[in-house]
Structure 1
Amino acid sequence: MCRLYCQDAEERQDLYQEIVLQLWRAFPSYQPTAKISTWLYRIALNVAISTLRQRTRRPAPERFGPTVPEIAQPPDTGPDADDLTELYRAIGRLSDVEKAFVLLYLEERTYEEMADILGITQNNVRVKMHRVQDKLRQLLTQPQYGTS
């Protein structure tokens, strides 16, 4: 999750620490009737999105430059590295909520789990997943979408 929502290693570490802190603070309110993984994802996702929004409202001075930062590159190397890089760039162009859907999908979460984590119905998850997949397909088929 930190990789999708942060540009560099320092930001990822800061986000990770914030997520751990919020999990620690929220643990006394955890209800054992909910799945622990769903509870963890919901808090982590909320922290990631709220942190990104705060950063967007008050960007660091060095962010004002001629280049647009890209999503962190995947650690994998090998024959599929270029495809992964393109996928990460396309994911980087999605909205915060769309990134959440992709993250949950890549984590192989069921629609039921996604619905619980995101607080929406399973039907809404299906519709939004379909739209996000279509948007990713469009981004990946656009010629040179990452260069401009």
Structure 2
Amino acid sequence: MFTSKKIQTVGTIKEFLNPSPVKESTEVITGQEGMPFVFGAMFPVFFTMQPSMSFAATTASASVKEEVSRKVIDAFNPLTELVQGLSYPLAFLAFSAAGIYWLLGNRPKALEMMQGATIGYIIVQLSPMLMRLLVSVTAGF
């Protein structure tokens, strides 16, 4: 899903917008012995050459990376759901304890508990997004 794509440049924008006209040559291409070069002789060589980079190879490697990323996220999904399910009752208990401290007059301790519970709850609820971010960062390596 979050993979880096490599871009290959072929030329400049100026060359693309103003292509130079192709000049037709009338001279005969000759081989080593001075005989005319036969283009049909090179025909089988073009079919045996392998391209250095093909679209199918990059698509296959990108899909493998996406598949691995999806499997990593799916493997940790039960754990993140468990932690998210427990975060609401724990935040409720922390806020209740902070309320008791507030009533007893220990306001700095109450504010500290409320702040900690709020930050912890937000981090736990954002954990799936953080995990996807980490997986996408490591997918580029």
TM-score bucket (shorter structure): under 0.3
Q: Normalization by structure 2: what TM-score? A: 0.24
* Greater RCO structure (CA 8 Å; 6+ sep): 2
Larger Rg, first or second structure (1 or 2): 2
